[in-house]
């Protein structure tokens, strides 16, 4: 019953939308482009054009450092947010990984916990759901079903993957089943105890409670259902007046039930043009633009390039025999400590600079 706080006009129909967990950025899919806005000031920071068909889904990692995009072109891309933010406006940054193992459009994405070390699940009309490792980009698991998959999610402990089918069925895949197989076929007739049955049309969204006991599902049959995962019984059915497109379980904010609670900071209008491309006269206000790391462009590797190199070195050690390699590890530890020290200096300089700007007396 509350009034709409802000109406934001986008460049075209929005096919998918997500916000970073830290609340700083908004991602939207408009046709085949990804638009990235900064929430605090409404600046359009980047327009990414690496998909060949319309976007279908977007999601962030839990630490907001990476985001994933899926589209009708059968591709799922992994992006490093800070690489996108640091790229020049004239350049289109490259995604960190390009996952091209699906043969039909991507329908849903889900990211687990662990930031850059997390696992991500993708669902597709090609009747498969796949589990990936974000750090290395490797395919960990591919499960084949007898129907197209429209929704996918993981429980908090990542013991199970839940997949919603076009026929209304919801499948529970055990990720810790033995023996471990990279390619599996989910045979419904053999695994009746792992199927939620109740929806009469395609399942569009899935969400698991934080304690792993409840599953929420939405469907084109105009209902939202709450399931007990252990017994596969439907606990509650909520009817709607049209197809359900999205539903998820969230922790209630502290002021959610306060009748006088209102947003403390108004949401600004989102820009239609890339930040920095408008003329200064049109801005009509003074501002400070910070671009980290650009002063290092002519002096060797940038911080991001060094960080990527350190990432690759850390991940490569998992595939090596570490016996007798203690000296190499000691060098890596010292390099990481030096990197942390550099980051602390950068953070302190940023804080001091911001404090001087904020406390500068008005003329």
Among residues 200, 206, 240, the alpha carbon closest in space to that of 223 is found at 240
Whose tokens are 């849903």? That residue is 108
62 in Cβ contact with 47 (< 8 Å): no
- pLDDT in single tens digits along all 363 residues of the chain: 455 566 778 888 999 999 999 989 999 999 999 999 999 888 999 999 999 999 999 999 999 999 999 999 999 999 999 999 988 877 888 999 999 999 999 999 999 999 999 999 999 999 999 999 999 999 999 999 999 999 999 999 999 999 999 999 999 999 987 777 889 998 877 776 799 999 999 999 999 999 999 999 999 999 999 999 999 999 999 999 999 999 999 888 777 777 777 766 677 888 888 876 554 444 444 444 555 544 444 445 666 676 677 767 666 655 555 545 667 778 888 888 888 999 999 988 988 888 888 887 766
Full strand arrangement of the beta sheet holding 139-144:
106-111, 119-124, 128-133, 139-144, 183-185
CATH architecture of 14-256: 7 Propeller (2.130)
Sign of the dihedral through C-alpha 208, 131, 19, 61: positive
How far is Cα 234 from Cα 215, in angstroms, rounded to an integer? 9
Q: CA–CA distance from 238 to each of 204, 247, 345 (Å)?
A: 15, 11, 53
Strands 139-144 and 183-185: parallel
pLDDT of residue 1: 43
N residues, the chain: 363
Q: Quick one: pLDDT at residue 275?
A: 75
| Residue 281 pLDDT | 40
| pTM, two decimal places | 0.74
Query: What does the pLDDT read at residue 198?
Result: 94
């Amino acid at each position: 019953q509350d009034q709409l706080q802000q109406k934001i006009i986008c460049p075209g129909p929005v096919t998918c939308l997500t916000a970073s967990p830290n609340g700083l950025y908004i991602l939207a899919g408009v046709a085949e482009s990804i638009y990235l806005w900064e929430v605090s000031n409404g600046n359009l920071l980047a327009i990414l054009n690496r998909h060949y068909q319309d976007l279908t889904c977007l999601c962030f990692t839990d630490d907001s450092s990476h985001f994933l995009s899926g589209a009708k072109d059968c591709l799922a891309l992994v992006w490093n947010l800070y690489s996108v933010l640091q790229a020049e406006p004239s350049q289109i940054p490259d995604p960190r990984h390009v996952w091209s193992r699906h043969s039909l459009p991507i329908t849903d994405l889900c990211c687990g916990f662990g930031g850059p070390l997390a696992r991500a699940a993708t669902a597709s009309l090609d009747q498969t759901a796949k589990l990936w490792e974000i750090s290395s980009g490797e395919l960990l698991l591919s499960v084949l079903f007898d129907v197209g998959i429209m929704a996918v999610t993981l429980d908090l402990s990542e013991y199970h993957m839940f997949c919603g089918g076009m026929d209304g069925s919801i499948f529970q895949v055990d990720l810790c089943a033995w023996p471990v197989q990279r390619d599996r076929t989910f045979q419904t007739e053999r695994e009746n105890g792992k199927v939620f049955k109740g929806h009469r049309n395609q399942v569009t969204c899935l969400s698991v409670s934080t304690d792993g006991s409840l599953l929420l599902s939405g469907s084109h049959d105009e209902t939202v259902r709450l399931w007990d995962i252990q017994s596969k019984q439907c606990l509650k059915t909520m009817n709607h007046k049209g197809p359900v497109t999205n539903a998820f379980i969230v922790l209630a904010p502290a002021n959610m039930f306060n009748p006088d609670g209102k947003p403390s900071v108004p949401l600004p209008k989102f820009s239609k043009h890339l930040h920095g491309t408008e003329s200064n006269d049109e801005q009509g206000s003074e501002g400070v633009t910070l671009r980290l790391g650009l002063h290092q462009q002519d002096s060797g590797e940038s911080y991001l390039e060094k960080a990527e190199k350190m990432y690759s070195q850390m991940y490569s050690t998992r595939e090596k025999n570490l016996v007798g390699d203690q000296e190499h590890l000691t060098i890596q530890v010292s390099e990481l400590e030096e990197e942390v020290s550099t980051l602390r200096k950068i953070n302190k300089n940023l804080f001091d600079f911001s404090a001087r700007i904020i406390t500068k007396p008005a003329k």
